[in-house]
Amino acid sequence: MDINELIAIVKKKLMDQININSIKIEDKSFIHKNHVGNEDGKFHLKITIDSMELKTMNRIESNKKIYKVLENEVKNFIHSIQILIT
């Protein structure tokens, strides 16, 4: 899977399952290129989400919800996610 396809899938899944006003997803894989555990085909994403639904939750709950929605992608294509809720 390429990064553009992954971003499209992640965006659709999050928008379908969480009430989101706006979302921005960035590929930050280049920052982690030489880190231990970095694998080809696994990406590092920065996700900025404007969501009242997520803002009403504490940080752990909101992150758990996002990770649950993206369970398959995290298992197969994502090495790490940086999540910002605005």
pLDDT tens for residues 15-67?
999 999 999 999 998 876 666 656 677 899 999 999 999 999 999 999 999 99
DSSP 17-83: HS--SEEEEEE-GGGGTTSTT--TT-EEEEEEEE-HHHHTS-HHHHHHHHHHHTHHHHHHTEEEEEE
pTM: 0.89
Q: What pLDDT score does 75 carry?
A: 95
HSE of 16, CA atoms in CB hemisphere, 13 A: 8
Q: What domains lie within the chain, and their CATH numbers?
A: 3-85 (3.30.300.90)
In 3D, which of 82, 76, 7, 14 has the Cα closest to residue 41? 76
Asked whether 27 and 80 are in contact (CB, 8 A), the reply is: no
